[in-house]
Structure 1
Protein backbone atom coordinates (compact mmCIF):
# COMPACT_ATOMS: atom_id res chain seq x y z
CA UNK A 1 0.00 0.00 0.00
CA UNK A 2 0.95 3.28 -0.87
CA UNK A 3 1.12 5.94 1.77
CA UNK A 4 -0.15 8.60 -0.54
CA UNK A 5 -3.14 6.54 -1.57
CA UNK A 6 -3.97 5.82 2.04
CA UNK A 7 -3.64 9.45 2.91
CA UNK A 8 -5.88 10.49 0.00
CA UNK A 9 -8.43 7.78 0.91
CA UNK A 10 -8.47 8.95 4.51
CA UNK A 11 -8.93 12.54 3.32
CA UNK A 12 -11.84 11.53 1.13
CA UNK A 13 -13.44 9.59 4.00
CA UNK A 14 -12.86 12.57 6.28
CA UNK A 15 -14.44 14.97 3.78
CA UNK A 16 -17.42 12.62 3.32
CA UNK A 17 -17.77 12.34 7.09
CA UNK A 18 -17.50 16.14 7.46
CA UNK A 19 -20.06 16.68 4.70
CA UNK A 20 -22.42 14.04 6.23
CA UNK A 21 -22.00 15.59 9.66
CA UNK A 22 -22.65 19.12 8.35
CA UNK A 23 -25.64 17.98 6.25
CA UNK A 24 -27.42 15.56 8.64
CA UNK A 25 -25.98 15.72 12.16
CA UNK A 26 -25.06 19.35 12.64
CA UNK A 27 -28.46 21.02 11.79
CA UNK A 28 -30.49 19.02 14.39
CA UNK A 29 -27.79 19.69 17.00
CA UNK A 30 -27.80 23.41 16.20
CA UNK A 31 -31.61 23.57 16.25
CA UNK A 32 -31.69 21.69 19.58
CA UNK A 33 -29.06 24.04 21.03
CA UNK A 34 -30.97 27.05 19.68
CA UNK A 35 -34.22 25.78 21.23
CA UNK A 36 -32.50 25.20 24.55
CA UNK A 37 -30.89 28.62 24.50
CA UNK A 38 -34.27 30.18 23.60
CA UNK A 39 -35.94 28.30 26.49
CA UNK A 40 -33.21 29.45 28.85
CA UNK A 41 -33.54 33.04 27.61
CA UNK A 42 -37.34 32.84 27.99
CA UNK A 43 -36.93 31.41 31.48
CA UNK A 44 -34.53 34.20 32.45
CA UNK A 45 -36.89 36.81 30.99
CA UNK A 46 -39.81 35.28 32.89
CA UNK A 47 -37.72 35.25 36.06
CA UNK A 48 -36.81 38.94 35.57
CA UNK A 49 -40.44 39.76 34.86
CA UNK A 50 -41.55 37.82 37.96
CA UNK A 51 -38.91 39.58 40.04
CA UNK A 52 -40.10 42.98 38.79
CA UNK A 53 -43.72 42.03 39.51
CA UNK A 54 -42.73 40.79 42.95
CA UNK A 55 -40.96 44.07 43.71
CA UNK A 56 -43.97 46.05 42.45
CA UNK A 57 -46.36 43.98 44.58
CA UNK A 58 -44.00 44.28 47.54
CA UNK A 59 -43.92 48.09 47.18
CA UNK A 60 -47.70 48.16 46.86
CA UNK A 61 -48.09 46.04 49.98
CA UNK A 62 -45.71 48.32 51.88
CA UNK A 63 -47.66 51.40 50.75
CA UNK A 64 -50.96 49.80 51.76
CA UNK A 65 -49.45 48.77 55.10
CA UNK A 66 -48.32 52.34 55.73
CA UNK A 67 -51.75 53.61 54.69
CA UNK A 68 -53.53 51.14 56.96
CA UNK A 69 -51.22 51.92 59.86
CA UNK A 70 -51.74 55.66 59.42
CA UNK A 71 -55.48 55.17 59.17
CA UNK A 72 -55.42 53.06 62.32
CA UNK A 73 -53.42 55.70 64.18
CA UNK A 74 -55.81 58.37 62.94
CA UNK A 75 -58.81 56.36 64.16
CA UNK A 76 -57.13 55.84 67.51
CA UNK A 77 -56.45 59.57 67.88
CA UNK A 78 -60.04 60.36 66.83
CA UNK A 79 -61.32 57.88 69.40
CA UNK A 80 -59.12 59.46 72.08
CA UNK A 81 -60.42 62.91 71.13
CA UNK A 82 -64.02 61.68 71.28
CA UNK A 83 -63.36 60.04 74.63
CA UNK A 84 -61.86 63.30 75.93
CA UNK A 85 -64.87 65.27 74.66
CA UNK A 86 -67.26 62.79 76.27
CA UNK A 87 -65.27 62.87 79.52
CA UNK A 88 -65.34 66.68 79.53
CA UNK A 89 -69.07 66.66 78.86
CA UNK A 90 -69.63 64.18 81.68
CA UNK A 91 -67.55 66.38 84.00
CA UNK A 92 -69.58 69.46 83.04
CA UNK A 93 -72.83 67.58 83.54
CA UNK A 94 -71.64 66.28 86.89
CA UNK A 95 -70.55 69.75 87.98
CA UNK A 96 -73.85 71.31 86.93
CA UNK A 97 -75.73 68.49 88.67
CA UNK A 98 -73.62 69.02 91.79
CA UNK A 99 -74.33 72.75 91.68
CA UNK A 100 -78.05 72.01 91.32
CA UNK A 101 -77.96 69.57 94.23
CA UNK A 102 -76.13 72.11 96.40
CA UNK A 103 -78.66 74.83 95.48
CA UNK A 104 -81.60 72.58 96.25
CA UNK A 105 -79.95 71.58 99.54
CA UNK A 106 -79.39 75.24 100.45
CA UNK A 107 -82.98 76.14 99.58
CA UNK A 108 -84.27 73.17 101.57
CA UNK A 109 -82.02 74.11 104.50
CA UNK A 110 -83.25 77.71 104.38
CA UNK A 111 -86.85 76.50 104.29
CA UNK A 112 -86.22 74.24 107.25
CA UNK A 113 -84.56 77.12 109.13
CA UNK A 114 -87.57 79.33 108.43
CA UNK A 115 -89.96 76.55 109.48
CA UNK A 116 -87.95 75.93 112.67
CA UNK A 117 -87.92 79.68 113.46
CA UNK A 118 -91.69 79.89 113.00
CA UNK A 119 -92.15 76.84 115.20
CA UNK A 120 -89.75 78.28 117.72
CA UNK A 121 -91.60 81.64 117.71
CA UNK A 122 -94.92 79.89 118.29
CA UNK A 123 -93.43 77.82 121.06
CA UNK A 124 -91.85 80.89 122.66
CA UNK A 125 -95.14 82.77 122.35
CA UNK A 126 -97.05 79.87 123.90
CA UNK A 127 -94.51 79.66 126.73
CA UNK A 128 -94.73 83.41 127.24
CA UNK A 129 -98.53 83.22 127.46
CA UNK A 130 -98.37 80.34 129.91
CA UNK A 131 -95.79 82.16 131.93
CA UNK A 132 -97.81 85.36 131.92
CA UNK A 133 -100.94 83.42 132.83
CA UNK A 134 -99.24 81.79 135.73
CA UNK A 135 -97.81 85.08 136.89
CA UNK A 136 -101.00 87.03 136.63
CA UNK A 137 -103.32 84.18 137.55
CA UNK A 138 -106.19 86.01 136.28
CA UNK A 139 -108.05 86.15 133.03
CA UNK A 140 -106.77 88.59 130.43
CA UNK A 141 -108.41 89.58 127.21
CA UNK A 142 -107.27 86.84 124.88
CA UNK A 143 -107.45 88.92 121.66
CA UNK A 144 -105.29 91.65 123.12
CA UNK A 145 -102.90 89.05 124.35
CA UNK A 146 -102.65 87.38 120.88
CA UNK A 147 -102.01 90.77 119.34
CA UNK A 148 -99.17 91.46 121.77
CA UNK A 149 -97.68 88.03 121.15
CA UNK A 150 -97.82 88.49 117.35
CA UNK A 151 -95.90 91.74 117.71
CA UNK A 152 -93.41 89.96 119.91
CA UNK A 153 -93.16 87.12 117.38
CA UNK A 154 -92.45 89.57 114.55
CA UNK A 155 -89.78 91.27 116.59
CA UNK A 156 -88.06 87.94 117.25
Structure 2
Protein backbone atom coordinates (compact mmCIF):
# COMPACT_ATOMS: atom_id res chain seq x y z
CA UNK A 1 0.00 0.00 0.00
CA UNK A 2 0.95 3.29 -0.75
CA UNK A 3 1.32 6.09 1.77
CA UNK A 4 -0.31 8.65 -0.50
CA UNK A 5 -3.33 6.44 -1.09
CA UNK A 6 -3.72 5.84 2.63
CA UNK A 7 -3.43 9.50 3.32
CA UNK A 8 -6.00 10.30 0.62
CA UNK A 9 -8.32 7.56 1.90
CA UNK A 10 -8.01 8.92 5.43
CA UNK A 11 -8.66 12.42 4.10
CA UNK A 12 -11.80 11.22 2.29
CA UNK A 13 -13.03 9.36 5.38
CA UNK A 14 -12.30 12.40 7.53
CA UNK A 15 -14.16 14.69 5.13
CA UNK A 16 -17.11 12.25 4.99
CA UNK A 17 -17.11 12.08 8.80
CA UNK A 18 -16.94 15.89 9.05
CA UNK A 19 -19.79 16.25 6.51
CA UNK A 20 -21.90 13.59 8.28
CA UNK A 21 -21.25 15.22 11.65
CA UNK A 22 -22.04 18.68 10.29
CA UNK A 23 -25.18 17.42 8.52
CA UNK A 24 -26.69 14.98 11.02
CA UNK A 25 -24.97 15.18 14.42
CA UNK A 26 -24.15 18.83 14.91
CA UNK A 27 -27.68 20.36 14.28
CA UNK A 28 -29.42 18.34 17.06
CA UNK A 29 -26.56 19.16 19.44
CA UNK A 30 -26.75 22.89 18.64
CA UNK A 31 -30.55 22.75 18.84
CA UNK A 32 -30.31 21.07 22.28
CA UNK A 33 -27.73 23.64 23.39
CA UNK A 34 -29.92 26.48 22.08
CA UNK A 35 -32.96 25.06 23.88
CA UNK A 36 -30.94 24.65 27.05
CA UNK A 37 -29.64 28.24 26.75
CA UNK A 38 -33.22 29.44 26.17
CA UNK A 39 -34.44 27.51 29.23
CA UNK A 40 -31.63 28.99 31.31
CA UNK A 41 -32.43 32.49 30.03
CA UNK A 42 -36.14 31.94 30.74
CA UNK A 43 -35.28 30.67 34.23
CA UNK A 44 -33.08 33.70 34.89
CA UNK A 45 -35.81 36.03 33.61
CA UNK A 46 -38.37 34.26 35.80
CA UNK A 47 -36.02 34.59 38.77
CA UNK A 48 -35.61 38.30 38.03
CA UNK A 49 -39.39 38.69 37.77
CA UNK A 50 -39.86 36.75 41.00
CA UNK A 51 -37.24 38.92 42.70
CA UNK A 52 -39.01 42.07 41.46
CA UNK A 53 -42.38 40.70 42.59
CA UNK A 54 -40.90 39.82 45.98
CA UNK A 55 -39.50 43.33 46.34
CA UNK A 56 -42.89 44.76 45.34
CA UNK A 57 -44.67 42.48 47.80
CA UNK A 58 -42.22 43.51 50.53
CA UNK A 59 -42.90 47.17 49.78
CA UNK A 60 -46.65 46.54 49.91
CA UNK A 61 -46.28 44.67 53.20
CA UNK A 62 -44.22 47.52 54.65
CA UNK A 63 -46.77 50.05 53.43
CA UNK A 64 -49.62 48.00 54.92
CA UNK A 65 -47.74 47.66 58.20
CA UNK A 66 -47.09 51.40 58.27
CA UNK A 67 -50.75 52.07 57.45
CA UNK A 68 -51.98 49.69 60.16
CA UNK A 69 -49.52 51.20 62.65
CA UNK A 70 -50.79 54.67 61.76
CA UNK A 71 -54.42 53.53 62.09
CA UNK A 72 -53.77 51.87 65.43
CA UNK A 73 -52.04 55.04 66.66
CA UNK A 74 -55.06 57.08 65.52
CA UNK A 75 -57.45 54.67 67.24
CA UNK A 76 -55.39 54.82 70.42
CA UNK A 77 -55.35 58.62 70.31
CA UNK A 78 -59.12 58.65 69.68
CA UNK A 79 -59.66 56.27 72.60
CA UNK A 80 -57.56 58.52 74.83
CA UNK A 81 -59.54 61.57 73.70
CA UNK A 82 -62.80 59.75 74.43
CA UNK A 83 -61.53 58.64 77.84
CA UNK A 84 -60.54 62.22 78.71
CA UNK A 85 -63.91 63.47 77.47
CA UNK A 86 -65.71 60.84 79.54
CA UNK A 87 -63.65 61.75 82.61
CA UNK A 88 -64.35 65.45 82.09
CA UNK A 89 -68.05 64.74 81.58
CA UNK A 90 -68.16 62.63 84.75
CA UNK A 91 -66.28 65.35 86.64
CA UNK A 92 -68.67 68.00 85.34
CA UNK A 93 -71.71 65.92 86.30
CA UNK A 94 -70.25 65.25 89.74
CA UNK A 95 -69.63 68.97 90.23
CA UNK A 96 -73.17 69.75 89.10
CA UNK A 97 -74.54 67.09 91.44
CA UNK A 98 -72.42 68.47 94.29
CA UNK A 99 -73.59 72.00 93.58
CA UNK A 100 -77.18 70.76 93.46
CA UNK A 101 -76.74 68.94 96.78
CA UNK A 102 -75.15 72.04 98.30
CA UNK A 103 -77.97 74.23 96.98
CA UNK A 104 -80.58 71.83 98.36
CA UNK A 105 -78.78 71.73 101.70
CA UNK A 106 -78.63 75.53 101.80
CA UNK A 107 -82.31 75.78 100.91
CA UNK A 108 -83.18 73.20 103.54
CA UNK A 109 -81.04 74.98 106.12
CA UNK A 110 -82.69 78.27 105.23
CA UNK A 111 -86.13 76.69 105.60
CA UNK A 112 -85.13 75.28 108.99
CA UNK A 113 -83.83 78.72 110.02
CA UNK A 114 -87.13 80.27 108.94
CA UNK A 115 -89.08 77.59 110.83
CA UNK A 116 -86.89 78.10 113.89
CA UNK A 117 -87.44 81.87 113.71
CA UNK A 118 -91.19 81.36 113.39
CA UNK A 119 -91.16 78.98 116.36
CA UNK A 120 -89.02 81.43 118.32
CA UNK A 121 -91.37 84.30 117.40
CA UNK A 122 -94.33 82.24 118.55
CA UNK A 123 -92.58 81.45 121.81
CA UNK A 124 -91.53 85.08 122.33
CA UNK A 125 -95.06 86.25 121.52
CA UNK A 126 -96.49 83.71 123.96
CA UNK A 127 -94.05 84.78 126.63
CA UNK A 128 -94.85 88.44 125.96
CA UNK A 129 -98.60 87.77 126.30
CA UNK A 130 -98.04 85.80 129.50
CA UNK A 131 -95.91 88.62 130.79
CA UNK A 132 -98.58 91.14 129.87
CA UNK A 133 -101.26 88.99 131.55
CA UNK A 134 -99.17 88.72 134.60
CA UNK A 135 -98.72 92.48 134.67
CA UNK A 136 -102.34 93.25 134.01
CA UNK A 137 -103.70 90.29 135.97
CA UNK A 138 -106.46 89.86 133.60
CA UNK A 139 -107.27 87.82 130.48
CA UNK A 140 -106.94 89.48 127.12
CA UNK A 141 -109.63 89.01 124.49
CA UNK A 142 -108.62 86.23 121.95
CA UNK A 143 -109.09 88.63 119.02
CA UNK A 144 -106.87 91.18 120.66
CA UNK A 145 -104.49 88.37 121.55
CA UNK A 146 -104.23 87.28 117.86
CA UNK A 147 -103.66 90.88 116.72
CA UNK A 148 -101.00 91.36 119.34
CA UNK A 149 -99.24 88.16 118.28
CA UNK A 150 -99.33 89.18 114.63
CA UNK A 151 -97.77 92.58 115.45
CA UNK A 152 -95.08 90.97 117.55
CA UNK A 153 -94.28 88.50 114.80
CA UNK A 154 -93.97 91.31 112.29
CA UNK A 155 -91.69 93.31 114.59
CA UNK A 156 -89.46 90.39 115.32
Unaligned 5+ segments in structure 2 are: none
Q: Match for residue 98 of structure 1? A: 98
Q: Which stretch shows the higher mean deviation, 1-10 or 141-150?
A: 141-150
TM-score normalised by the chain length of structure 2: 0.82
TM-score normalised by the chain length of structure 1: 0.82
Question: How many angstroms does 1:52 deviate by?
Answer: 0.8
Alignment of 1:78 with 2:67, yes or no, is: no
Q: d(CA) in 1 for partners of 2:108 and 2:6? A: 145
1:30-68 Cα shifts (integer Å, max 9, x gaps) = 001101100110111111111111111211221122122
Q: d(CA) in 2 for partners of 1:15 and 1:146? A: 162
Q: d(CA) in 1 for partners of 2:55 and 2:17? A: 54
How many residues align structurally?
155
1:125-145 Cα shifts (integer Å, max 9, x gaps) = 445555666x56943224445
Q: Match for residue 141 of structure 1? A: 140
Question: How many angstroms does 1:107 deviate by?
Answer: 0.6
Unaligned 5+ segments in structure 1 are: none
Give the RMSD, CA atoms, in angstroms: 2.4
Q: d(CA) in 2 for partners of 1:20 and 1:58? A: 56
Q: Match for residue 65 of structure 1? A: 65
